[in-house]
Chain A
């Protein structure tokens, strides 16, 4: 059984960066694809990007490409998502999520991390 535990809520000023972590247990990170999905207040789910451990590639959503970096520390089984040049539109709950393969449904979700961007 995979468990994903994320870091705590963050408050950032416009223009700053935020880095959210996602600790994996039950499996090793090298075995799992890792997606990041966000949800603005009162809105739906938006895929930000994902890492495929089979080919080592990370694909980012076009809308956010250039501002986001997804990385991983395999020694601690922790994935990270860093988002730069924050604006008010980035206020959202950020989820890490994984599944049985990159081209498979997401079937495990982290608990979410609220990032608030406010001056």
Chain B
């Protein structure tokens, strides 16, 4: 089954750009993944679907400052003009015919 690996933490200054990484296990090629945001005390929120080609589709109401890209086994979520409300946990998700998996999550904080 696929495995998704994320750094446990990251930080960014307000107004800066930050790039989070989700790495897909070897042998799993060009999977589609999704990014989710979980603000403290809230349910996760779907941000976008991201394909191995780098093409992405965002969910309804997701601000323009969120974008996605990919390179090989690495899938990225970039937040431009980082805002205080973007301080949250970010999870990547993927699936195959037998299971669905999440990365361990990245806690993103303000520097």
Contacts and interface: CB of A to CB of B under 8 A. Distances in A.
Interface of A: 1, 35, 37, 44-47, 50, 59, 61-62, 95, 97, 103-112
A44 B43 contact: no
Interface string B88-109: 0001010101111111110000
Contacts of B93: 45, 105-106
B45 A47 contact: no
Contacts of A106: 34, 36, 46, 93, 100
B10 interface: no
A97 B102 CA distance: 14
Query: Which bracket fits the contact residues of B?
Result: 20 to 34
A109 B37 CA distance: 11
Given A44-B105, A105-B32, 15 more contacts: A1-B60, A44-B103, A45-B36, A47-B99, A59-B98, A95-B44, A97-B44, A103-B95, A103-B97, A105-B46, A106-B34, A107-B49, A109-B43, A109-B45, A109-B46
Contact of A108 (B46, B49, B95): B46
Interface of B: 32-34, 36, 43-46, 49, 59-60, 91, 93, 95, 97-105
Contacts of B99: 47, 59, 61-62
18 contacts: A1-B60, A44-B103, A44-B105, A45-B91, A45-B102, A47-B101, A47-B102, A50-B100, A59-B99, A61-B99, A95-B44, A103-B97, A105-B34, A105-B46, A106-B46, A107-B34, A107-B46, A109-B45
A59 B99 CA distance: 8
Given A35-B100, A45-B105, A95 B36 contact: no
B88 to A, nearest CB: 13
A87 B55 CA distance: 43
Contacts of A50: 100
